[in-house]
Amino acid sequence: MNTPLLSAKDLTVQFRTPKGPITAVNGIDLTLERGEVLGIIGESGSGKSVTMRALLRILPEAKTEIAGDLKLDGKDVLSLKGHDLAAYRGGDVSMVFQEPATALDPVFTIGTQISETVRRHRKVSRKDAQARALEMLELVRIPSPASRLGNYPHEMSGGMRQRAMIALALAAGPKLLLADEPTTALDATVQIQVILLLRELQREMGMATIFVTHDVGVAAEISDRIAVMYAGRIVETGTAAEVLKNPKHPYTQGLLSSTVQGAVPGTPIKAIPGMPPDLAQMPPGCAFAPRCPLATSACQAAVPDLRAQGGERRVACVRLEEIA
Amino acid sequence: MTDQGLTPPQTVPALSATSLNKTFTVRENGLGKPARYVHAVSDFSFDLPVGSTLGIVGESGCGKSTTARLLMHLVKPDSGQIRLSGEPVSRAKRDLKQFRRKVQMVFQDSSASLNPRLTIEQSITFAPMVHGVSLRAARETAWRLLDRVGLDPARFTGRYPHELSGGQRQRVNIARALALNPRVVIFDEAVSALDKSVEAQVLNLLNELKAEFGLSYIFISHDLNVVRYISDHVLVMYLGQVVEQGPVDQVYATPRHPYTRALLASMPSPDPEQRTMAAPITGDPPSPIDLPPGCRFAPRCAFAESICDTMPYELRHGETRVRCHMADPKLGHSKAEVIQ
Amino acid sequence: MTVSENALSAQPTRSQGYWSNVWRKLLRDRVSVACMIVLAVIILSAIFAPLLTSYDPAIGSVVQRLKPPLTDGYILGTDELGRDMLTRLLYGGRMSLIMGILPVLLALLIGGTLGTVAGFVGGWTNTIIMRATDVVFAFPSILLAVAIAGALGSGLLNALIALTVVLIPPMVRVTESATTQVRSLDFVEAARASGAGGLTIIRVHILGNILAPIVVYATSLLSVAIIMSAGLSFIGLGTKPPTPEWGLMLNTLRSAIYSQPLIAALPGVFIFAVSLSFNLLSDGLRSAMDMS
């Protein structure tokens, strides 16, 4: 049996704040095979973006504590330091951010930024790096790529910038691509183009991808597997079809029924009442219990474990048997 | 352009606009370089029947937000007319003040649209007091409305905006808009920044309030699903123009304009087993600066022909109106049957 | 990072106003508290100078010239005319502080009004006010103050006018940029959309939001103004002898710089302490007012 590309065990991220520590990610387990796409769905405060930043090790060290076990291709990620860490970030793993306008450096041209990244991670000549940059822009289907190399980020439209961002992220040939809401800031007709592009590149280059989104539709378009996060924990995971077509956790069910997609105009949407818990004052036991229509006292007794439900499926709900 | 709307002529629409135009001038530098023009809104007309919701959809640069500001009289149109309950609105001070009692707006950024130095109560009582309501009465209104939008007045009146979550702040903004007892409320991407579960709650609230207070809504959004859910009529904008408008179920079921089709086909499929296989159109929406004289969608349209170099009119098609040469076979577009 | 934000805005049981929040934060900053104590001691002792010392600041004794500190009941020694240094420093603080603070307050009032109008009205009004400001701004401030005071002739009132004129342009700029920023926020648009007039919007929505940066800036200007007013007196364009004033005292004690360097430096120490305290306090205010 071959080892997965990425394995995270009991990954916990705490922020130190003046008001005491806050647990943003609370003991999550993740595994990812080579070439697999994992979608993480969650609302703001669910810990999905923090998880991504922990995987890339870009959280400010002075203010954060990462615990648990994190291995990428056998490498112990949490113990990386100095040069190894720099090689890991952008080399083994790279990230596409939500806002290409702020994630790209405004004072350098796209070409310079890509070729510099290539040279940082591979021993190639300046000329070869530039050739690689051109190749990358062609790969992300930017029209007239040769002339675009000399463009500054502000000279490009939102969709072009996000393509350039993807080119930059893929330039060093990462084993794992992290995409943090990469299409959220884009227009509808551009969003679908970028999703299709990412899907295609992922297939061609064979890298594993974690795709964070709050949009169920976007997750459905790209994910092989889906993990649903709530208040720093994974509450349900399984193949995309399993989770989205037959959600088992009450939160996933609520999230899917509260999207306007399926709602009938003129009738109320089945919205989840209340709002996500304050991470500084987490409720005892299952964090969703205060909003859950099916909660009983058992839900407050302990944090429910993710229990295997056959195949890829795992759900963290104590009342699973009764509600299924 | 007729100013008869989609409703039977005997009912007077709550709000209507006829041939609104707004062009902004951008000057690259002061040194004699010719000025460039942003066609923010061109030839914009609609009727908002009493008690209904008009959805406005489009992508960035399509003029949605300028439209909202034109309708609120926050920017002055170059030409065209806005009518409130059939009465033309002049820009005289008194008229405007009266108009602003009747038409209110909720913005996208729940945080920027509340003054950080004012308590929730002060924010809500501000507008009524501007219109001469006593502090006592304004307070009573604030408490009643906060309670109605689902925020316990005893807990929230004394708080400051930064102490609230995004969803709570947007509820405050809704209460604030309702404090003047308006007839029409314009929502400019009002739920776009909210989490999905909160968005659903707010949409339900909006529907309840509409029935309860007899309101009419203009709902501007880039989210096609939200617009389909909340609107009776929908208006699709592209580069400052309405390309298609009509009853929401008709437009969504049988979109006629190629852009509307592309927009609808761009929605991600919620079913992982039936993914979208090809992007309906390529490229980004162009910037609305210095537009060509013809159909504005033509450069990205799969059906563009030479006739598309001239500006199409809005053509009636049952209850919908489409701005496309293909909508009328007599115009000579060879693929006219495509949108029948 | 949304998570930490969420957690940090953990809801208090009772809401506090912005300014009481700023005050509490300021009290938690040790440097700011130290500055406030230093300033309070100097200001209060200047106000209550007659109660703290029995000497007359203007009358000295020729035999007691330039005595070192701690001699014969002169705690800080005597100056070149045999007057008690402590008394002169306390009384001198009155004039120095007034000449430092008053121009800033006047500039705050005049410059703040101009800046708010320029920022809120925009268009031509803005262009005229800001270009006029730029003209004044083009000169180095201390030179301009000297030139104006020199042209008007020496004297307190003229020094006051000179300092005020010099301090107005930076005040206008800061106010204008703060106003422009606030004016473009949605809540101002919402206020317009609810039919409020310009003055109401400025009073309710603009002032409260531009006050923080302006107060910070005015506090830092205080430190500059103290030094400039002392400078004007030093070169004879402000206070006239025998009125005690720190800048003037520095000048008259120049002759003693070799014989009694400690005494000659004392007025400078006070100028330095007040100026530095205002400067550090403005930094403290800035971080205390930064809400997020």
Edge-to-edge strands, sheet with A233-239: A93-96, A176-180, A208-213, A37-41, A225-230, A233-239, A314-315, A307-308
Confidence tier at C8 by pLDDT (50, 70, 90): very low
Q: Which of residues 279-318 of A touch C (CB under 8 A)?
A: 279-281
Enter the DSSP assignment of C203: I
Domain that holds residue B39: 15-27+34-331
- Rounded to the nearest 10°, the torsion over CA A237, A241, A242, A244 is 70
Which of A160, A188, A195 faces B59 most closely, judged by CB atoms? A188
Cross-chain residue pair C14–B158, CB shorter than 8 Å: yes
The answer, yes or no, to whether residue C57 has pLDDT greater than 70, is yes
Instruction: Tell me if chain B has a CB within 8 Å of the CB of C19.
Output: no
Give the domain ranges of chain C: 43-57+68-289
On whether any CB of chain B is under 8 Å from the CB of C291, the answer is yes
A278 touches chain C (CB under 8 A): yes
Contact A189 B279 (CB under 8 A): yes
Return the pLDDT at A102.
80
Give the pLDDT of residue A101: 76
B111, B284, B300: best mutation site toward chain A, by most A Cβ within 10 Å?
Answer: B284
Distance from CA of C206 to the nearest CA of A (A): 29
What mean pLDDT, rounded, does chain B reach?
Answer: 87
What does the pLDDT read at residue B185?
96
Q: If we measure between CA atoms, which residue out of C81, C77, C76 comes closest to residue C65?
A: C81
CA dihedral B159, B162, B165, B167 (to 10 degrees): 90
Does residue C66 register a pLDDT over 80?
no
In this structure, what token pair is assigned to residue A197? 């592009």
Q: How far apart are CA B245 and CA B229, in angstroms?
A: 16
Q: Which residues from A are below 8 Å from C3, CB to CB?
A: 15, 22, 24, 45, 47, 49-50, 232, 279
Output the pLDDT for position B327. Answer: 83
Cα–Cα separations (whole angstroms), residue C288 to A148, C217, C285: 45, 14, 5
Between CA B44 and CA B54 the distance in angstroms is 14
Residues in B touching C184 (Cβ below 8 Å): none
**Is it true that domain C43-57+68-289 has CATH number 1.10.3720.10?**
yes
Contact across the interface for B272 and A259, Cβ inside 8 Å: no
With an 8 Å Cβ cutoff, are A193 and B196 in contact?
A: no
Instruction: Provide φ and ψ at A122, rounded to 5°.
Output: -135, 145
Q: Flag whether pLDDT at C7 surpasses 60.
A: no
Contact C242, C177 (CB under 8 A): no
Residue numbers in C near B84 (CB within 8 A): none
Q: What is the ipTM of this complex?
A: 0.86
**Which residue's structure tokens are 């969703």?**
A288
Domain with B229 in it: what CATH number? Answer: 3.40.50.300
Residues B236, B56: Cα–Cα separation, whole Å: 6
Check CB contact of A212 with chain B, cutoff 8 Å.
Answer: no
| Residue range C155-165, pLDDT digits in tens | 888 888 989 99
The pLDDT of residue B123 is 93
CB A299 within 8 A of CB A318: yes
Q: Where are the domains of chain A?
A: 6-262+270-278
Given a contact cutoff of 8 angstroms between Cβ atoms, the answer to whether B100 and C191 are in contact is: no
Residue B7: inside a domain = no
To the nearest whole angstrom, how far is the Cα of C2 from the nearest Cα of chain B?
11
- The verdict on residue B337 lying in a domain is no
Q: What is the pLDDT of residue B27?
A: 67
> Does residue C12 sit at the A interface (CB-CB below 8 Å)?
no
Chain C residue nearest residue B109, CA to CA? C186
A50–C7 C-beta distance less than 8 A: no
Confidence of residue A324 (pLDDT cuts 50, 70, 90): low
Q: How many domains does chain B have?
A: 1
CB interface of B with A, residues 48-87, below 8 Å? 59-60
pLDDT in tens, C252-274: 888 878 887 888 888 888 889 98
**The predicted structure's pLDDT at residue C6:** 33
Cα separations (Å) of A68 from A25, A77, C207?
11, 11, 50
CB-based contact A19 C1, cutoff 8 Å: no
Which residues in chain C touch residue B112, judged by CB atoms under 8 angstroms apart?
A: 185-187
Identity of the residue in B60, B229, B279 whose CB atom sits nearest the CB atom of A265 = B229
Residue B145 lies in a domain: yes
Is-contact B183 B102, C-beta < 8 A?
A: yes
For B173, the token pair is 């903004």
Q: Which helix (H) or strand (E) holds A307?
A: strand A307-308
Shortest CB distance from B74 goes to which of C6, C193, C204? C193
Question: Please, are residues B225 and A260 in contact by the beta-carbon 8 Å criterion?
Answer: yes
- How close B25 gets to chain C, by Cα (Å)? 15
Give kind and range of the element (H or E) at residue A93: strand A93-96
Contacts of C2 in chain A (CB under 8 A): 44-45, 49
DSSP-assigned letters across all residues of B63-85: SHHHHHHHHTTSS--SEEEEEET
Residue B174 confidence (pLDDT): 95
Nearest residue on chain B to A265, alpha-carbon basis: B229
Fold of A6-262+270-278: Rossmann fold (3.40.50)
Q: How confident is the model at residue C239 (pLDDT cuts 50, 70, 90)?
A: confident
pTM equals 0.86
Q: Which of A163-177, A179-193, B173-187, B322-336 has the lowest mean pLDDT?
A: B322-336
- Please count the CA atoms within 13 angstroms of the CA of A239 that sit on its side-chain side: 9
- For the record, the structure tokens of C213 come out as 């940066």
| Spatial distance between the Cα atoms of A93 and C193, rounded to a whole number of angstroms | 49
Residue C150, pLDDT above cutoff 50: yes
Whether C194 contacts B130, CB under 8 Å: yes
Residue C71: alpha-carbon gap to chain centroid: 35
CB atoms within 10 A of CB A155: 12
Give the torsion sign (CA, B7, B9, B14, B15): positive
Report whether C239 contacts C189 (CB < 8 A): no
Confidence grade of residue C11 (pLDDT, cut at 50, 70, 90): very low
In terms of CA atoms, which chain A residue is nearest residue C9? A278
Q: What is the DSSP letter of B6?
A: S
Burial of C72 (0-12, 13-18, 19+ CB in 10 A): exposed
| Inter-chain touch A261–B225, beta carbons under 8 Å | yes
User: What's the rounded Cα separation, in Å, for the pair A42 and A215?
Assistant: 8
Q: Kindly determine whether residue B266 and residue A188, on different chains, have CB atoms separated by under 8 Å.
A: yes
CB contact under 8 A, C2 and A17: no
Name the B residues in 68-97 with CB < 8 Å from any C CB.
72, 74, 96-97
Q: B261 to chain A nearest CA, in Å?
A: 11
Contacts with B109 from chain C: Cβ below 8 Å = 186
User: Chain B: nearest CA to C17, how far in angstroms?
Assistant: 8
Predicted confidence at residue C210, as pLDDT, reads 92
Where does chain A have alpha helices with state H?
48-55, 82-88, 100-103, 110-121, 126-139, 145-148, 158-170, 188-205, 216-222, 240-245, 250-257, 297-301, 320-323
pLDDT in tens, B102-130: 999 999 888 899 999 899 999 999 999 99
